[in-house]
Amino acid sequence: MSYEVIGITVLWLFLFGYLIVASIDFGAGFFSYFSSITGKRHLIQNVIERYLSPVWEVTNVFLVFFFVGFVGFFPDTAFYYGTALLVPGSVAIVLLAIRGSYYAFNTYGTRASKVYMLLYGASGLLIPAALSTVMTISEGGYIEVTGEGVVRFLFWNLLKSTYSWSVVLLALVSVLYISAMFLSYYAYKADDRPAFEVVRKYALAWSVPTILSSLLVFFSIRGHNPEHFENLLSLSGMFVASFLCFLVAVSLVWTRKQLGWAFVFVMLQFGFAFFGYGAGHLPYILYPYLTIYGNFTSDAMAVALIIAFVLGLLLLIPSLYLLMRLFLFDAKYVKGKLDSH
């Protein structure tokens, strides 16, 4: 296996980790606000806060690793993506700062205003929508390189593209589906039946839109990038496996059985689809300008980065395991009894 393939695989692993962890975070934020305007905040807020309190500070570690590694492995990406991602990237950074402020105020006892709660809930949808533009732009058609070597971002092409909006839709519903599926398991683990019934309904409600939006993206690629679509067809087994995992996960939540395994199948569902999409996109990073082979860093830098990122994974995964073991799934903490005597 070449350095290029190892490098992009490691980066894809970090991005997948961010997809799962951040989706739970963003969706929980939206559900927190949504429940406050539907009169159900008192039912699910305790479960959401018990999850977010120990986790919110480590969520963005995956994203930082990905972007640093992306530019490190493929230096030319900064040149091509810099202009295109200026607006959505700036929006995402501002919204992440707002979420961090909300967490800090909420954690240290300052009562958050309704405006802050609105921004917190809205950011749970706006951040994935903004970040999803990276995937959209990578398909080509939204960046033009002039004869003088100047990169132009074709904003209006992005704005009026069916494919672009289908990706945004998929990002939104996936966040809500992943988060609701996890919170269903977490509420059940906490033996909080009222909260469980609420988030279980959310999980089932967002399951069908997730599959429909996935199909919409799949067929939108056919018109936007036929070459990628043909590659995806050759990897159809990955997407069939993803759909089977979806059926298992939803059926377990529907029957209220083995909810831990239900979320494992949710991760497998998105894992098969995510890695199938990535494999189908190779060798392009930005169609048709950048490939993993033509714009790679030096071998010495590649080895150093691969070692650093593998060590980062070996440090991050045990850290998350300890976080879950000591806090999230601690028998007392999960039931809100950590401070009881």
* Residue 300 predicted with pLDDT over 80: yes
In the structure, what pLDDT confidence band is assigned to residue 186 with cuts at 50, 70 and 90?
confident
The pLDDT value recorded for residue 216 is: 93
The pLDDT value recorded for residue 339 is: 47
Q: Read off the pLDDT of residues 64-88 as tens digits, 9 standing for 90 and up.
A: 888 888 888 888 887 778 777 777 7
With tokens 């992943």, the residue in question is 178
In the structure, what pLDDT confidence band is assigned to residue 340 with cuts at 50, 70 and 90?
very low
How far is it, in rounded angstroms, from Cα 28 to Cα 30?
Answer: 5
The pLDDT value recorded for residue 341 is: 37
The stretches of the chain forming alpha helices (DSSP H) are: 3-38, 41-55, 61-73, 76-84, 86-107, 114-131, 133-138, 155-159, 162-189, 193-224, 226-234, 236-254, 259-281, 299-323
Point out the least confidently predicted range of 10-19, 46-55, 317-326.
46-55
